[in-house]
Amino acid sequence: MKFVRAVWKLMVGIKDGLVLIFMLLFFGLLYAGLSNRPAAIGSGVLDLNLKGNVVEQPDRAQWSDVAGAPSVRNYALHDLIAALDAAKDDGRVKAVALDLDSFAGGGQTAMIDVADAVRRVRATGKPVIAYATGYTDDSYQVAAAASEIWLNPLGAVLIAGPGGSNLYFKGLLDKLGVTANVYRVGTYKSAVEPYIRNDMSPEAKQNYQALGDAELSTWRAAVLRSRPKANVGLFLKDMNGAVAAAGGDTATAALNAGLVDKIGDRMAYEAHLAKLGGDGGKESAFKRIKYSAYVADSDQEARNAPIGVITIAGMIVDGKAGPGTAGSDTIARQIADAVNDGVKAIVLRVDSPGGSVTASERIRQSLLAAKARNIPVVVSMGNVAASGGYWVSTPADYIYAEPSTITGSIGVFGVIPSFQGALQKLGIGADGIKTTPLSGEPDLLKGPSPEVSQLIQTSIESTYRRFLAIVAQSRHKSVAQVDAIAQGRVWDGGTAHQLGLVDGFGGMSEAIAKAAELAKLGNSRGIHYYEPPRSLEDALLGAFSGGSDDRDGTSEDAFAVLAGRPEQQLAAAFGEVQAIMSGPTIQARCIECAAALPAPPLKRDLGFAGLVWSFLSRSA
């Protein structure tokens, strides 16, 4: 009887547990539904307190976000621009506050788009007030478009410009006895250099330098367009001299150079906003219109809109993937859904350094199938559309890029790690039999055989020739002409336009207008963004980790804005290692383009040793 009672208690416990889980799911979904209902919007100041990155497509929330682990919030670029465009004609919005104290940027091209939207608001006569303790390249590019730029008395404008160091692992791999077996085509295809060198090759350095100089020139022109009297050149060439002339006061130096309009602390800044938009009473220093509520209130997308927007964001991978990563099956499904919904045109927004060749080709074929149904395709390139990102762009009837877009990188490579050196260091032997030249290949214990290495290199070269042929057909050039500008070389958007890799300069608004023109839609330009489907888990995570628009106690230290860069650089570098070493053998991706994308946050509970171990365990 004791055994029966024990079993009965166990069954009751399981039943109670299932009921509890069901109740949690029910109330979680109820909360999610209520939270997603647009809140009533009153008049006041639209508070753009941007605490994170601007990205093309925010990735999914993680359970660590719910648990309170440090995280960086992502803002969808199209949501931010839509909110600013709605605000310029909205009588409820008296002013716009750009709180950039915790802003992590989002790439030069995205910042140009945001700055253009800020200027459109400013052009209506509505004040746009920017505030930060420390402005860096991205945040200052946005702030420059504002009516007024405020700087904390202890703050600084810190413009670094493009550049920096990459990690090279050849010495580490030699010590560990790990061999990176590399196969590539393209003089400038430097994605594999970190595994075969301890420094940058002259060809890669030449390419990087030209790209960085072009990016800095574009950044400077964009800032001076908004603030023509700002002495940007002084801060770029001799910031120490400017600060010394101001008696060592970095904030006064920025004011003297015309980079900012007002030095004041947060209380003074918020008091100024209260004069523009009303006193917030006990809840706030000024009457706020929260960004999240405003986005929900102004969302006017229609499911049966004539123009469908498909986003290729992040790494291009095989199979299915959530937002922030371009899974080939997921993107193909979105394209098919758009066709089945009866869209008259497709706008492909590309912000990707590439990835899997087979995944890129899967997406290209899906776009060609849509075009076979007489649906025009227009590509809008974001920060990066290189390697596989350019591969998926080739079916387009028209390609738009910004001068700051990074594109090209038409080349192919593959990396296979092997561990014969590590085994030798440990005194371990490896031996076996073969029934054919390819038996047990690629042999990660003894190293790939000459036969399989030749086979992989032949496949790489064949894929490269296919890449050239696809681009040549798309851009109406000969294969030889494409090869001359390919070889894995990366181009800025301005040079890419001169070379004929893109058709014109412009962003999403120009791409939508061109799509409407090609589809003969007249003034009917309604759009619908096709996104990866949300699961039950996504709904729960979104409900509980949606984030607050309120401030989170970020340290008001001008140089704190630079403190996260080493962490982010390490996270990005080791992320690249994992992506390449664990990805498909044949890849079309651009490792040098990572600097143009928002840096991924480093999980603080991982640590440097954890990152090293993660790399080794994924590679071994």
Across the strands, what pairs with 337?
A: none
| Cβ atoms of 285 and 274 closer than 8 Å | yes
Is there a common fold for 41-163+212-298 and 307-532?
A: yes
Residue 600's pLDDT band, with cuts at 50, 70 and 90, is low
Query: In angstroms, rounded to a whole number, what is the distance separating the alpha carbons of residues 559 and 158?
Result: 8
What pLDDT shows up at residue 83?
94
Where along the chain do its domains lie? 1-29, 41-163+212-298, 307-532
Average pLDDT of the residues of the chain: 84
Q: Give the predicted TM-score (pTM) of the model.
A: 0.83
What pLDDT shows up at residue 476?
96
**Helix (H), strand (E) at residue 182:** strand 179-185
Residue 329 CB-density burial (10 A; 0-12 exposed, 13-18 middle, 19+ buried): middle
Question: Once rounded to an integer, what is the mean pLDDT over residues 495-518?
Answer: 95
Query: In angstroms, rounded to a whole number, what is the distance separating the alpha carbons of residues 171 and 462?
Result: 31
What pLDDT shows up at residue 618?
37
Residue listed under structure tokens 């290189």: 386
Q: What would you measure as the largest C-alpha separation in the chain, in angstroms?
A: 91
Q: In CATH, which superfamily holds the domain spanning 307-532?
A: 2-enoyl-CoA Hydratase; Chain A, domain 1 (3.90.226.10)
What pLDDT shows up at residue 606?
41
Q: Is 581 in a helix, a strand, or coil?
A: helix
Residue 537 has pLDDT above 60, yes or no: no
At 190, which amino acid appears?
S
* Segments in 177-231 forming alpha helices (H): 193-196, 202-226
Work out the percent of the chain whose per-residue pLDDT is above 90: 56
Work out the percent of the chain whose per-residue pLDDT is above 70: 76
Pick 489 or 20 by higher pLDDT: 489
Query: In angstroms, rounded to a whole number, what is the distance separating the alpha carbons of residues 368 and 376?
Result: 10
What pLDDT shows up at residue 315?
92
Question: Once rounded to an integer, what is the mean pLDDT over residues 243-260?
Answer: 95
Residue 91 has pLDDT above 70, yes or no: yes
Residue 301 has pLDDT above 80, yes or no: no
What pLDDT shows up at residue 73?
81
DSSP string, 2-45: HHHHHHHHHHHHHHHHHHHHHHHHHHHHHHHHHHTSPPPP-SEE
State pLDDT tens for residues 61-70.
555 554 454 4
List, by residue number, the catalytic residues: 189, 387
Q: Give which of 608, 335, 386 is closest to 502, Cα–Cα.
A: 386
Query: In angstroms, rounded to a whole number, what is the distance separating the alpha carbons of residues 1 and 598?
Result: 64
What pLDDT shows up at residue 611?
41
Q: In CATH, which superfamily holds the domain spanning 41-163+212-298?
A: 2-enoyl-CoA Hydratase; Chain A, domain 1 (3.90.226.10)
What pLDDT shows up at residue 119?
96
Separation in Å, CA 359 to CA 183, 197, 365, 391: 19, 29, 10, 10
State pLDDT tens for residues 581-592.
555 656 666 766
Which DSSP state fits 586?
Answer: S
Question: Once rounded to an integer, what is the mean pLDDT over residues 44-66?
Answer: 80
Pick 45 or 545 by higher pLDDT: 45
Residue 151 has pLDDT above 80, yes or no: yes
Q: Is 556 in a helix, a strand, or coil?
A: coil
What pLDDT shows up at residue 296?
83
Pick 131 or 487 by higher pLDDT: 131
What pLDDT shows up at residue 167?
85
